[in-house]
Structure formats: C-alpha cells, structure tokens
C-alpha cells in the first residue's frame, strides 16, 4: 500500500462521510482494524442545511471512540478526514471543532478534488493496469460523487464532482419504500439535470469504488454495464429496503439509498462509455497511502 520501509508501522484514518463514519488502520497492505457506524450526517444536512447539536455530539463521541481504538492497537499516525458534510453543512466549522476536541488528532476537510484524488490513488493501488493506460475512478458517496481520470504515470489529470450522492438523491426523489419505477425515472431526470455540463474524457478502463458500487455489485455482479445497472435500478426501485438487506446483506441505510446510488452510477457509466469494474480499495486506502508516504519522506 505504501513505502515498504514502513510496513511495520500502523497508520489510520477516520473517514467522516454522509452516511457512515469509518475507521481503517493498516500496516502496509494488511488491515489491522476496521470499524464503522452509520450516523446519517448527510440526511441531516439535506433536511436542515446543518448538523443539529445532538448529531454533532454523537459524531464526536463516535470519532473519539474510534481514535481510542486505533491508539490501542499502536497506530503511529492518525488523521480525521471529513468528506461532503464538511463542505455542505452550514455549521461545518462546529463539526470540525467538535471532532478536533474529541479526537485530539488533525482534522482535514476534504475538497471534492481531494476526494477524487484519494479514491483514484486507492483504486489504482489495488489493480493492475499499464502505467500509461487512461482510467477513470468513480466514487459515488452519500452527499456527492466524483469522477477522476488519469493514469498511473500521470496521476489524476481530470477531476470533477457533483453535489449529489445516493443519500441526497434519495431524500429529494426517492422517499417511498420501495421508491417505485416512476420515482426512479424522476431521479434519473434529476441526475441528468445535475450532469448537464459534465463532459469527461473517455477512459480505456473505469473503476467504481465506495459503498454504493459495492452494494450494486452484490445485486448484479462485478462489471457494471448499461444493462446490469438498469437491472440494479429496477430491483432497488421495486424491492422494499428490508428485503434488499436480507437478500444481499446490505446495512439498513444502504438498503434505503442503493436505488439512488445505482441511478447515479448508471448515468456516469453512460457518460464514460465503458463498464465500471468494482474494486474495494478507495478513498480510505488512498489516504493511508498518502499518510504513509509522508511518514516515509520524513524518516
């Protein structure tokens, strides 16, 4: 994952996202500790425009607990990363202050470009592609979605983001359970509106990372092309969330938002004009790579 001289040093990141807070600690390529808790910050932001005080306190408590767990396993360096809630909430400064106080660790709000770059770094660290081959990495989160295009040799050269993710689209267009095909079609129109000026260069291969892509993969397989994504949308739009959870082992939050995630993935796949290959490594793995590289450079 990162500089081999430091493979015996554990590094960690806490990723505060729209749906979930996650901890990943690893030594080189070996995960040491993984924790997650669904908090739904993005739903609060979409409904209120900000994060209510009780949700701020809950998030700070979860992050503090994750940080303590990371330190108990000997984590040498730890960083708190805040994704779209840190950009979209009117009281994002309050969130950052609460997390910094609770964790006693550096807190960094990721720009949309940061999210895309780290997802690209993590994805390319887990697949074999020629160094000059142009690839795309698609990361559909709860509050936003990124597309990053480049090569192993050049790094990211084209990064774009939209302020629409699986949770936000669900809140806007897919409130029923199940949402139904008419609501799915309305959500498709909303995504098309947001993507009206989105014009990515065409890659040779495309990878999808993140929870939405992993959930859709469980439903229809690893390679997400136009037909399989259309089928994923149909299934998710016509199946109650509890049944999706039981049948495919999704967490309850994902069961409610997977239709929105599939619709965004469908639109982005059509624009890239190549199937999306789902890979597990993404933003957190990219952040660990970057953190490990900084340790190596400082040694």
Q: Does residue 294 form part of some domain?
A: no
Q: Are both 239 and 180 inside the same structural domain?
A: yes
Q: 0.85 exceeded by the pTM?
A: yes
- What's the CATH code of the domain at 145? 3.30.420.150
Quick one: CA dihedral 90, 265, 127, 253, positive or negative? positive
Which whole number is the average pLDDT over 80-90?
92
For residue 236, being part of any structural domain is answered with: yes
- My answer on whether 102 and 231 are in the same domain is no
In CATH, what number is assigned to the domain containing residue 24? Answer: 3.30.420.40
Residues 71-78: what's their mean pLDDT? 94
Domain count, the chain: 2
Identify whether residues 26 and 98 lie together within a single domain. yes
293 within a domain of the structure (yes/no): no
Residues 141 and 105 in one domain: no
Name 82's bridge partners: 16, 109
What would the pLDDT profile of 271-280 be if each residue is shown by its tens digit?
999 999 999 8
Does any domain span residue 122?
A: no
Quick one: 89 and 200 in the same domain? no
Q: Do residues 134 and 95 both lie within one domain?
A: no
CA distance 59 to 277: 32
Phi first, then psi: give them for residue 31, nearest 5 degrees: -65, 135
Answer whether the bond into residue 107 is a cis peptide, omega within 30°: no
Domain match, 79 and 132 both: no
Cβ–Cβ contacts within 10 Å for residue 156, how many? 18
- Between 220 and 9, name the one with better pLDDT: 220
The domain in which residue 73 lies consists of 4-111
Asked whether residue 86 falls in the same domain as residue 143, the answer is no
Inside any domain, residue 99 = yes
**Degrees, nearest 5: CA angle 122-123-126:** 95
The pLDDT value given to residue 40: 86
If asked whether residues 58 and 90 sit together in one domain, one would say yes
* Same domain, yes or no: 135 and 103: no
User: What's the rounded Cα separation, in Å, for the pair 266 and 230?
Assistant: 7
What is the pLDDT, as a whole number, of residue 2?
39
- Do residues 46 and 140 both lie within one domain? no
Q: Is residue 52 part of a domain?
A: yes
Q: How far apart are CA 44 and CA 22, in angstroms?
A: 18
- DSSP secondary structure, 40-57, as one string: -HHHHHHHHSS--HHHHH
* CB-CB contact of 105 with 78 (8 Å): yes
Mean predicted confidence (pLDDT) in 35-42: 91
pLDDT, tens digit, for every residue of 160-211? 999 999 999 999 999 999 999 999 999 999 999 999 999 999 999 999 999 9
């Amino acid at each position: 994952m990162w500089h081999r001289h430091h493979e015996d040093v554990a590094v960690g990141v806490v990723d505060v996202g729209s749906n979930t807070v996650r901890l990943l600690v690893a030594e080189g390529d070996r995960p040491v500790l993984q924790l997650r808790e669904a908090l739904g910050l993005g739903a609060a932001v979409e409904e209120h425009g900000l994060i209510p005080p009780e949700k701020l306190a809950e998030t700070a408590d979860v992050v503090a607990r994750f940080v303590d767990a990371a330190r108990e396993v000997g984590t040498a360096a730890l960083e708190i990363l805040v994704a779209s809630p840190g950009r979209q909430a009117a009281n994002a400064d309050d969130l950052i202050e609460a997390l910094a106080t609770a964790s006693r660790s550096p807190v960094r709000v990721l720009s949309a470009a940061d999210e895309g770059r780290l997802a690209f770094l993590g994805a390319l660290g887990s697949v074999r592609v020629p160094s000059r081959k142009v690839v795309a990495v698609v990361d559909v989160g709860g509050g936003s979605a990124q597309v990053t295009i480049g090569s192993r040799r050049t790094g990211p050269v084209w990064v774009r983001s939209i302020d629409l993710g699986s949770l936000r689209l669900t809140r806007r267009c897919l409130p029923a359970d199940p949402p139904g095909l008419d609501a799915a079609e309305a959500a498709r129109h909303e995504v098309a509106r947001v993507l009206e000026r989105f014009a990515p260069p065409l890659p040779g291969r495309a990878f999808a990372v993140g929870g939405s892509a992993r959930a859709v993969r469980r439903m229809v397989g690893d390679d997400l092309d136009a037909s399989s994504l259309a089928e994923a949308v149909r299934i998710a739009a016509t199946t109650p969330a509890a049944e999706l959870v039981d049948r495919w082992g999704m967490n309850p939050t994902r069961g409610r938002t997977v239709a929105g995630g599939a619709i965004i993935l469908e639109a982005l796949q059509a624009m890239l004009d190549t199937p999306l290959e789902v890979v597990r490594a993404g933003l957190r793995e990219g952040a660990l790579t970057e953190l490990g590289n900084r340790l190596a450079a400082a040694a």
